[in-house]
């Protein structure tokens, strides 16, 4: 099996008060391929202590589901003899309370839009391809979040 890594780094800035919770949630995420992203808690969670321009964990989860699903869909479509030209998705995750004081991303809705090069699958075959992609997606198989295609 494969191993995946990410390096996460944060440091208290001068003048911030950790004990009082007055510190930036901004941090750096570095992946094994060399990509580096600015990360933060969500502004919905910590307000002004978030870095609004950075990527938050909830967005990364939604993006991971969307990306994995897309890659799975493209694979199963190719194996079925179809040729995709473009794939676009606007994925939306919903945070909800799952118990008193506990929240989770409970639902992610994917809105894939595919343009085909050549014949496109009919509605029944497209639905079957989506179901197979969902079953194949490693990330969807790794979370309890409901993942649907709209």
What's the pLDDT tens digit per position in 60-88? Answer: 999 999 999 999 999 999 999 999 999 99
List alpha helices for 3-121, DSSP H.
43-46, 57-79
Half-sphere exposure of 20 (CA within 13 A, CB side): 5
Question: In 3D, which of 43, 39, 42, 41 has the Cα closest to residue 28?
Answer: 39
Single pTM value for the model: 0.92
Is 106 within 8 Å of 145 (Cβ atoms)? yes
User: Rounded to an integer, what is the distance from CA 102 to the centroid of its chain?
Assistant: 20
Tokens describing residue 25: 């949630």
């Amino acid at each position: 099996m494969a191993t995946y890594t990410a390096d996460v780094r944060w440091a208290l800035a001068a003048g911030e008060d950790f004990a009082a919770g007055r510190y930036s949630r901004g941090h750096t995420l570095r992946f094994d391929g060399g990509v580096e992203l600015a990360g933060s808690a969500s502004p919905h969670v910590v307000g002004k202590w978030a870095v609004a321009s950075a990527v938050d964990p909830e967005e990364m989860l939604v993006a991971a589901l969307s990306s994995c699903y897309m890659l799975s869909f493209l694979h199963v479509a190719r194996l079925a003899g179809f040729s995709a030209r473009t794939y676009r998705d606007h994925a939306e995750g919903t945070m909800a309370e799952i118990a008193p004081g506990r929240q989770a991303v409970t639902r992610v809705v994917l809105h894939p839009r595919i343009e085909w090069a050549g014949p496109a699958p009919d509605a029944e075959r497209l639905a079957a391809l989506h179901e197979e992609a969902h079953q194949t997606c490693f990330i969807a198989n790794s979370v309890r979040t409901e993942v649907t295609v709209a």
